[in-house]
Structure 1
Amino acid sequence: MKRFLQHLEGDKAIWAVVALLALFSFLPVYSASSNLVYVVGNGTTIGHLLKHGMLLILGFGIIYGMHKIPTHYYKGLSIIALPVVILLLIYTLAQGTTIEGANASRWIRLPFVGITFQTSNLAAVVLMVYVARYLSKIRDRKITFKESILPLWLPVSVILLLILPANFSTAAILFVMILTLCFLGGYPLKYLVGMVASGITFLALFILVAKAIPDVFPNRVDTWMNRVEHFWDGEDGVGDYQIEKAKIAIASGGVMGNGAGKSVMKHFLPQSSSDFIYAIIIEEYGLVGGFSLMFLYLLLLFRIVVVANANTSVFGKLVVMGVGLPIIFQALINMAVAVELFPVTGQTLPLISSGGTSIWMTCMAIGVVLSSSRNPRMEEIVTDKNNEEHPLEILSGQL
């Protein structure tokens, strides 16, 4: 074991928190997957557990591989990956599949393995690294909005526009995270206010067009608006049915919970193993389990901030915050939805919910954070013995 741990570099606390989250996830996933088996009629509980285990094993392989890559390499890699994810998003909109009757085409199915891949998750990680690279590049000079349109806001806008029709919540979260990262990176506040106004204006126009031409994006805008309206006015709807069952599960769990595997509401709560798994966790493990899980995410946030603060390079600081904060933000939104503090969004609980490749994308982000924690004093420009820049560093400075 000691020899094995020697190969795990970087922040040991992050490794420990991620391992605890992954190990704990097996119990609620095994319990909640009975809904898919006995209500939906999809597979077996052991099958869902084995699939979840396989995804986590491959996810930890991704973490290990990513954390071995020097952080400064990600600047060049983000430029290479950006056009790839744009093409994947276009393909997903055109040829994507629907999962369990979902209205939106958000996934592509990986050939031969039968696993679905949500391209927006990969796009989010790549875009956050790309934005961190750009902000580190302009850190020490004044920038005008016109100068930043092509290298910054054009790629951001293209990716958000490709995600928006099928997944509004992911597009909104990604937009908020980009604005947060730009604020942390010293981008002029007046320009950020302008981007917020532009985003709201475009969203309003998008809704008007979708309402005027309903065949273009069938049911999507109506679904968004219904969820928000039902959240505010308390009328019955699909989202309210889910929230009602989630609140019953939370109330029946009490302080200590009913015990592992003894959830009753998992048979009635749609998406009990993914979007609403936090409600099942509280039903089975009580408020003690719910707050313990929240503590782990907050501990992960604390260590992410520590790693970012320890980095001496601007890119190192920004990339850690850029890929790390969305994990915590997504977790808090998932918990807020379960207790009706937020409208239903469809966001999963990172490293806990069963699902497809969203686990891998979370692991990819964690791998980047651990890479930065391996050598927090790495300089932004790495040179070899001949004082020549590395090819990826040269590439990263071209855009």
Structure 2
Amino acid sequence: MADASSESKRDYAVGRMREPEEIRPARLVSVLLMFVVAAVGFWWLHRGDFSLWWLEDLPVYAHALRDWQAGRSPYNAELSPLYFLYPPAFLYMAGWLSHLVPEGWGAWVYVGAHVAAVCAIPLVLARYFFRRPWLGLLLAELVFVAEPRFTALLALCGANVASLFYCLAFAAAVPGLRRNRWELFYLVVFLGGITKITFLALLLLPVLIGKRQWGRSIVCGVAVAGTNLAEQVLLPGLYAGYQWSVLQAILVQRHYGYGVFGVLAFFDDKRHHAVGLWPYAVSALLALGITLGLLVLRRRLEDGSADGGLLAGNAVWVALVVMAVVLVNPREMQYDVDIALFAAFVVFVTALRVRWPLLLMVAWFLPSLVVPRVIHSPVLYGVYETLLVLGAFGVGYWWLWRGAGRSGFSFGG
């Protein structure tokens, strides 16, 4: 593998950007202090919300597991407006894992694993996915923690199991990125998929970055669908409770998320007191368009690349796929968008030829502090982050499309 200086010279020679300047630790510390001050200000403005955010999902998991193990239904409204939104398979997995730790330690072990997973996600992405010389591990952690509206910190406070599955999936994808070995990754996606069906979007990673992974990805998706069907047949009572709980949380409580579907559903519901078909249709068309667009771009990059199309070696391409994993999810939450924002930062720095990434951090962070003052509905607070991700996806797509048409374009940079 070429070193950073040789990569920079090669990129410059074919008309692509040079690497941003290396950031000194002292400058990182000063920026970190600024974001600590911003975090204090953010807490002061929204201190009333923190009691709701802190480990928000942990009591839901604990309550559901206790009820299920005691022979009661885990799907009830006792913790309303929070509901247990996971199928019966998750209960069996969680129940089995709960017997591996001493009694009374389950919550502590889960919180520790969750915190470790959230902190590890940017390190895994920076080290094995994006691999840019300017994106050191300290800067990666700082970028992640200091995302607009502190999205990653909100994910940390929420304690949702999604962060654990994302971390495991990204770690399991490393052999796929290096040697096109995705077996462990498919296992993680299967377990994640039977917990949350939206985790099947992670299959875009082997399909778009790996080689000849369509068949295995389809098998993984079919296995998740088969497990879901088996739950309906073998555990009809529990599965009916799961469906009721999802209906209550998403449609009755109007927790649509703040992705494209969430925004459209919110306004449709506000106007007509119900969600019509068009938010679903637009969301489905967006997901289809993103997927087809990436397939077309992949073909163009492979055909026009001077190095045979090393898909896993291009930071912008990998970042586009990571963002796509989140954008095709109809119900985006903070524990999804924090990952997409990190990928978006890499795209902006690379495609816009940003020489000082720290300035970009400040520039895209500051507007997020005033979002709650402009948008008065809490369910729409994340619109700014979603717009940033969509913008980064468009910028990165255009940059790669234009670059693939240049003579001597090297895809491995």
Q: TM-score range by the shorter chain?
A: 0.3 to 0.5
TM score, norm. by length of structure 2: 0.35
Q: What TM-score results when the alignment is normalised by the length of structure 1? A: 0.36
More helix by share: 2
Q: Which has the higher contact order (CA 8 A, sep 6+)?
A: 1
